[in-house]
Amino acid sequence: MYSLAESLRAALQAIRFHILRASLTVLGMVIGVAAVITVVALLQGMSQSITTQFKSLGSNGITIVSYLPKKAALEGKTSRISPQDLHAIVQEVRGIHNVVPVLRLAFLSAPVRYHGQSSNTSVTGTTSSYAGANSSYPVNGRFISPSDNQTRRPVAIIGKSLIKNLGLPTNPDGQFIQLFGNWFKVVGVLNKLGTMLGMIDLDNRVYIPYGTARSLIGAGNLPNIRIMLQLNKVGNLHEVEGNITRVLRRRHHLRPGEANDFKFRSAEQLTKDIQKVFNMASLILGGIVSIALLVGGIGIMNVMLVSVTERTREIGILKSLGATRSDILLQFLIEAVLLSLLGGLIGLFFGYGIGQLVVHFVPAFAGAIIPNWVIVLSLGFTATVGLVFGIAPAARAASLDPIDALRYE
């Protein structure tokens, strides 16, 4: 223990006497750790932000969408979820409610006009049940009513962004906007959702009655819809999915062994998928920016080799006074590890600060966190780098002959 404490004291003293050189030495470590911390914190923050948005769908919600496996797509096959599929699910599957058709006519590409102003938006046809199934509700006016759908009434419920984009009044109820060459009366404004990934404006949207959307695409065109529904009991998820699968496979004439041409999406599944993607991205990007740590380790080795040369006479004096090879080796190893850890701690501080600045100016990264595992991994990696790259200089110092070291000029 005495030898270890003395080696630690000597290492700290050497760093203090050469503070400028030590600062330049740990710069690579600072940059590497700061980059790792910043990247992982921001990715985790974005993951948390998106996960929160998906959780707003509710843990008992399921969405059914058409899906085509790669092999089937190459064979020229097509897939769709039809209104008849919706009707069959409502009639034959138990344990569900709020079964909602969702017919997307355009995604951020439909031109909407008002008094000479124009903007591109997303247009979706749906029913009155959509509000309860998707946590969308009007803050002004009303949502789609059953009579709107039955009579194919040209009414629209808009997101808040369109008020600004089109120069609409603050309360636009009763105003008329033009979509697909038709005039629609604004009857409601939806709650604010914000942005996804800091780029996709979730409030740039228009909802119209499902029946009206069907009439816009024409009676001769069979629409490909999504079906949103809610479970009566969350625990019945697998049972309900199994029943829906049997209904849709029968209706789509799928033979045994053929892959489904549809798939299920639930808030829980989407959340898990998003978290997997971001965790993998954190590991990959963290690994890439960790290259800076290796560069920092090489810098430490070079500086330690220079230090050994400068302190050759000191090493000779220590050995003549009884210091063993292991004492010299331990002193230089501790010095290298201390330099690495010092750089890691400073990098951790800067990484946290940079992350907070980005969060402040980019709301999409709100909720950025630094997981405990990345702190432990970064500091552990820096200590290991210091140890590995400090071995060669330490071994060189320990192997010096005391007579030759004392005669060194």
| 266, 301, 324 - which closes a domain | 266
331 neighbors 307 (Cβ within 8 angstroms): no
pLDDT single digits (tens) 154-188: 999 999 999 989 999 988 999 999 998 899 999 99
Report d(CA 254, CA 92) in Å as an integer.
Answer: 18
User: Which band of pLDDT confidence, cut at 50, 70 and 90, is reported for residue 58?
Assistant: low
pLDDT single digits (tens) 218-240: 867 788 899 988 888 877 888 88
Report d(CA 36, CA 48) in Å as an integer.
Answer: 18
- The verdict on 82 and 99 lying in the same domain is yes
- The verdict on 199 and 166 lying in the same domain is yes
- The verdict on 139 and 256 lying in the same domain is yes
- The verdict on 315 and 382 lying in the same domain is yes
The token pair that represents 110 in the structure block:
């439909």
On average, the pLDDT of the chain sits at 79
pLDDT of residue 236: 80
Smallest CA-to-CA distance from 89 within 217, 250, 238, 221 is with 250
- The verdict on 80 and 141 lying in the same domain is yes
- The verdict on 242 and 306 lying in the same domain is no
Question: 370: which DSSP letter?
Answer: -
User: Which band of pLDDT confidence, cut at 50, 70 and 90, is reported for residue 59?
Assistant: low
Helix (H, G, I), strand (E, B) or coil at 310: helix
Report d(CA 97, CA 17) in Å as an integer.
Answer: 74
- The verdict on 82 and 211 lying in the same domain is yes
Report d(CA 99, CA 219) in Å as an integer.
Answer: 22
For the chain, what is the domain count?
Answer: 2
pLDDT of residue 147: 92
Q: How far is CA 173 from CA 132, 141, 162, 188, in A?
A: 21, 6, 13, 6
Report d(CA 26, CA 19) in Å as an integer.
Answer: 11
- The verdict on 147 and 249 lying in the same domain is yes
| 240, 266, 292 - which closes a domain | 266
pLDDT of residue 284: 74
- The verdict on 109 and 209 lying in the same domain is yes
| 235, 266, 297 - which closes a domain | 266
pLDDT over 80 (residue 46): no
Domain span holding position 332: 2-53+275-406
**How many other CB atoms are found less than 10 A from the CB of residue 5?**
9
pLDDT single digits (tens) 100-156: 999 999 887 889 999 888 999 999 999 988 887 776 778 889 999 999 999 999 999
Question: What is the 3-class SS of 332-389, one letter each residue?
Answer: HHHHHHHHHHHHHHHHHHHHHHHHHHHHHHCHHHCCCCCCHHHHHHHHHHHHHHHHHH
pLDDT, average across residues 345-359: 80
Smallest CA-to-CA distance from 381 within 47, 40, 15, 12 is with 40
Q: What is the largest CA-CA distance in the chain?
A: 103
